[in-house]
Amino acid sequence: MAKLHFIYSVMNAGKTTHLLQVRYNYIENGGHVLLFTSLIDDRFGVGKVKSRIGLEADAIPLRKDDDIAAFVAAEHARKKVTVVLIDEVQFMTADQVRQLAWIVDELKIPVMAYGLKNNVYGTLFSDAIVAMMALAEDFQEIKQLCHCGRKATMILKYDRNGEAVRSGEVVEIGGEGRYVSVCRPHWTKGDIGPAARQLLAHPIAAE
């Protein structure tokens, strides 16, 4: 039975690698896969999904006013769609997440949506994630470790001095070097950990 899956984690936990492996497995077995990503996330070019270990694929870039349900329905009528994969679902709108649920319920196509659950300020990332938490039937967490060895559940944003940033814009595309995934106690303390501090002290070595 088709389900709406939400696969989430903190930053740098391997979500994109997991998504691209799932895509490969479906294609290898003869599946017709639709892969969407946000137009906002253009770090590797518009419509490009790329993991930190070098795996990549072309995707359909989505604007916030795009109707995913209509697109998938039209493609499904042309050629049966096996699965819909979503990268960076946190950048979608709540309406688009509801469209994903419609795809599952009416077209009977499984949807696997990958994204960040929390933002750097300790709340659900966006209205899209609020909708996803309410509507998804299956949840999978891809785990990451804090610098202390505990499970990282929070994202800490920091400035050039290594101090925690507690206000400002949630989204900063291309600013990965200013975020670190940590456990809740170290998020509360604003402790970015020795590895991140070392990179700040020696920026050339980080390149």
Residues carrying an active site annotation: 88
DSSP 191: -
Q: Is 182 annotated as a binding residue?
A: no
Is 186 assigned a ligand-binding role in the annotation? yes
Compute the distance between CA of residue 86 and CA of residue 140 in angstroms, rounded to an integer. 14
Q: Does 138 belong to an annotated binding site?
A: no
Beta strand 4-9 pairing with 111-116: parallel
Is 89 annotated in some ligand binding site? yes
How many CB atoms neighbour CB 201 within 10 A?
10
Does the annotation place 180 within a ligand binding site? no
Cα distance between residue 198 and residue 36, in whole Å: 36
84 is in an annotated binding site: no
Residue 148 assigned ligand-binding role: yes
* Secondary structure (3-state) at 32: coil
Tokens 């072309």, residue located: 58
Measured distance CA(112)–CA(120) in Å, rounded: 24
Residue 10 known to bind ligand: yes
Show binding-site residues for substrate: 171-174, 179
Write out the binding residues.
9-16, 87-90, 146, 148, 171-174, 179, 183, 186
Annotated binding site for ATP: 9-16, 87-90
Instruction: Write out the binding residues for Zn(2+).
Output: 146, 148, 183, 186
